[in-house]
């Protein structure tokens, strides 16, 4: 048995060498990709499932009612402060402003007439050609005309404010 041992060791060594040589021949040369190093942004993406909730949810409303003439934003649109969202048809509100301007002009004309009548009645009362009742009536008409001008001015201011509120 001692005679065969060197031969067995030699055969095993030859088999190992043959196996290594065969693997080296069959091995594919590894390909390396080479590129030049540059600076650039690093982006990180996260993929997830779930429900997204807005940071701020705002209900938009109007102080006046009417038909929407133009719509500049839609549901879930991002808007910033001062951004026009919608335009209500201003035709009716513009007509109201025009009517209020006419009413105010009429009230101012009535006030001027009441001032003239009050002045004339005071002069006639001073000359004793008019009664105290006529003077009191003229002064009351003057105060009523002044109050009417204030009412009409308030109506005009409200109509202008309503017209301004047509832009949401």
Give tens-digit pLDDT for 116-154.
999 999 999 999 999 999 999 999 999 999 999 999 999
Mean pLDDT of 53-69: 83
pLDDT tens track for 6-53: 888 888 898 888 888 887 776 666 677 888 888 888 888 888 888 878
CA 161: distance to chain centroid? 19
pTM of the shown model = 0.63
- Superfamily for domain range 90-164: Helix hairpin bin (1.10.287.470)
Instruction: Please tell me the predicted confidence (pLDDT) of residue 53.
Output: 82
> Would you say 125 and 134 are in contact if contact means Cβ atoms under 8 Å apart?
yes
Q: Would you call 7 exposed, middle or buried from its count of C-beta atoms within 10 A (0-12, 13-18, 19+)?
A: exposed
Return the domain boundaries, the chain.
Answer: 90-164
Q: Is the dihedral of CA 134, 139, 144, 146 positive or negative?
A: positive
Phi, psi of 68 (to 5 degrees): -75, 125
* Average pLDDT estimate for 78-100: 91
Q: Which residue has the higher pLDDT, 108 or 22?
A: 108
Contacting residues for 3 by C-beta, under 8 A, at least 6 apart = none
- The candidate with the shortest Cα–Cα distance to 108, out of 162, 50, 151, 71, is 151
């Amino acid at each position: 048995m001692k005679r065969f041992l060197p031969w067995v060791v030699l055969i095993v060594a030859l088999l190992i060498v043959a196996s290594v040589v065969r693997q080296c021949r069959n091995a594919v040369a590894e390909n390396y990709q080479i590129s030049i190093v540059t600076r650039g942004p690093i982006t990180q993406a996260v993929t997830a499932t779930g429900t997204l909730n807005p940071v701020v949810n705002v209900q938009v409303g109007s102080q006046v009612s009417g038909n929407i003439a133009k719509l500049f934003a839609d549901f879930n649109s991002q808007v910033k402060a001062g951004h026009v969202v919608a335009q209500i048809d201003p035709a009716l509100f513009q007509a109201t402003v025009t009517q209020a301007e006419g009413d105010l002009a009429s009230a101012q004309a009535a006030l001027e007439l009441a001032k003239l009548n009050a002045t004339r009645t005071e002069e006639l009362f001073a000359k004793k050609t008019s009664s105290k009742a006529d003077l009191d009536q003229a002064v009351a008409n003057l105060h009523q005309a002044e109050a009417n001008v204030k009412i009409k001015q308030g109506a005009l201011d409200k109509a202008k404010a309503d017209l301004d509120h047509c832009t949401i």
